[in-house]
Every structure is written in structure tokens, then in C-alpha cells.
């Protein structure tokens, strides 16, 4: 059985950096199920938060400099594609990170369930850990090396996720962006179900659930898009439909 130190050394080789603070890279590889009951800093959750923001800034900077002829919408679509869960999980898997993620007993033996999300989260966490330990330039180099091959101008021509499409629609039709709110979290820590709602102009427009907060937001965005399309853009009608569906769900339970 491979020990934690071996996992850390292997990922340091993948990243191309030997961490001075081993706790950072250890946490970046640790799924929350492996440290239940311990401080949140023991898993990748906090580093994921930081890495997500750092990654977004680095990718945005590179795209801004690389494609001077693209407008804001095209740059946004391209950025969304590069930092999407699908791309990040594929990149992390190709780097060989999957075998070095530390799961708890509750997650072992579950096969592919949750691995996609974990790979995405660990990639972002590694970015956060690298930024804290090695600084901007080293982090930028890692992101360029791993995400650079996935940059394609064609990706700027279309939104690649329900959230990006909803952002486009609401900015165009209502001159505001969507706002996501987590309304519930149920189930055990190793297998939670999150439910989120999305508001447009302060009006609840969609609702969705998923195994992660990001998945719940994506489902809520898709629900909002379907409702807005069916209601031909009427936020008032969408609000009525959303509340009617929620009342029906409560009655059925």
C-alpha cells in the first residue's frame, strides 16, 4: 500500500515543485471523507476555494494577452471552458493525480462515483497550495503547462455550461447576472446532496440538486433556462412556476 509520503512525492514530481510546507500539498490531496471530525483545513476544501480564484485570474490574464481580437463574451466563453469541471478533471486524470487522492473508508470501493468532482477539486487545491508555497510565477507556469494544450479559439464561439448560458441570457435580457444560493445540504458527510436556487433580478428562477455545490448550481441554472424559455422571458411567470413546483414537492413528501 502506498503511504501518504509517497503520494506527496509523486504529486510533487507531477507539479514540478518540492513543497516547503508539506501540510499544504497533503491537504490538497485529501478528500473530506478522510478527515471527518477534523478541522476543515485538513482536507482540500479551503485550498479549493483559493485555487479556484487564483486559477480564474491566471487563465483570464493569459487569454486576455493571447487573443487581443476577442471581445468580452468570447473571452468569457473560452475561460469558462478551460476552468470547467470537465476540463479540470480530465487534465488532473491525465496527469496521474487520481491514484494519489486520499479518500476515507466511506469513499473507498465506490468506483468512479465522485471521482470526477474530486479530480476537479484537487486540481484547484493544488493550484492554491502551489500559489501559497511557491508564488505566482511557479503557479502560472503549472497552469500554462497543464491547461495550455486545451486552449482552442473555437471554444469562444459557444457557452459550454448551463451557468455560462444563463449568465449570457440574463445579461442580455435583464441586464443583470444570476445569483446562486445554497438552500439545503442533506445526507452523510461522505455522500451529501446539495440544493441550490438561482435568482435573477432578485426573483427565484431555478432550483436544482447535486452531489456537490457546483453540480447543484449547474442544475439550478439549467432549470432556470428551461423555465425562462418556456415562459418566453417573463420573470413573473417563472417565479410563479417555481413556487408552484416547490409547493407540489412539499405536498408529495
What are 176's three cell numbers?
443583470
Environment class of residue 152 by beta-carbon count within 10 Å: exposed (0-12), middle (13-18) or buried (19+)? exposed
Secondary structure of residue 232 in the 3-state scheme: coil
The Cα 75–Cα 5 span in angstroms is: 40
The Cα 155–Cα 150 span in angstroms is: 10
List residues bridging with 181 in a β-sheet: 197
Catalytic residue among 48, 62, 120, 124: 124
| CA distances, 116 to each of 11, 59, 176 (Å) | 18, 21, 31
Catalytic annotation present for 52: yes
Environment class of residue 60 by beta-carbon count within 10 Å: exposed (0-12), middle (13-18) or buried (19+)? middle
In the chain, helix, strand, coil percent, each to 5? 65, 10, 25
Catalytic residue among 52, 62, 107, 223: 52
Closest CA to 98 of 82, 129, 121: 121
Q: Are 8 and 22 in contact (CB under 8 A)?
A: yes
**Residue 235, CA atoms < 13 Å, CB-side half-sphere:** 15
By annotation, the residues acting in catalysis are: 52, 124
Amino acid at each position: 500500500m502506498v503511504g501518504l509520503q509517497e503520494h506527496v512525492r509523486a504529486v510533487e514530481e507531477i507539479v514540478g515543485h518540492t513543497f516547503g510546507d508539506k501540510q499544504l500539498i497533503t491537504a490538497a490531496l485529501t478528500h473530506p471523507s478522510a478527515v471527518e471530525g477534523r478541522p476543515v483545513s485538513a482536507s482540500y476544501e479551503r485550498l479549493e476555494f483559493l485555487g479556484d480564484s487564483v486559477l480564474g485570474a491566471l487563465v483570464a490574464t493569459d487569454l486576455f494577452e493571447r487573443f487581443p481580437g476577442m471581445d468580452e463574451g468570447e473571452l468569457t466563453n473560452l475561460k469558462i471552458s478551460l476552468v470547467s469541471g470537465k476540463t479540470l478533471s480530465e487534465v488532473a486524470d491525465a496527469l496521474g493525480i487520481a491514484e494519489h487522492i486520499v479518500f476515507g473508508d466511506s469513499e473507498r470501493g465506490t468506483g468512479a462515483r465522485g471521482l470526477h468532482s474530486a479530480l476537479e477539486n484537487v486540481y484547484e487545491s493544488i493550484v492554491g497550495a502551489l500559489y501559497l508555497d511557491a508564488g505566482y510565477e511557479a503557479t502560472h507556469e503549472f497552469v500554462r503547462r497543464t491547461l495550455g494544450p486545451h486552449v482552442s479559439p473555437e471554444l469562444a464561439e459557444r457557452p459550454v455550461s448551463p451557468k455560462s448560458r444563463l449568465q449570457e441570457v440574463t445579461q442580455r435580457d435583464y441586464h443583470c447576472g444570476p445569483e446562486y444560493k445554497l438552500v439545503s445540504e442533506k445526507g452523510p458527510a461522505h455522500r451529501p446532496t446539495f440544493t441550490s436556487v438561482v435568482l435573477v433580478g432578485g426573483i427565484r428562477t431555478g432550483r436544482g440538486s447535486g452531489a456537490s455545490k457546483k453540480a447543484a448550481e449547474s442544475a439550478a441554472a439549467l432549470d432556470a433556462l428551461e423555465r425562462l424559455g418556456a415562459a418566453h422571458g417573463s420573470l413573473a411567470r417563472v417565479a410563479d412556476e417555481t413556487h408552484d413546483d416547490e409547493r407540489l414537492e412539499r405536498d408529495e413528501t
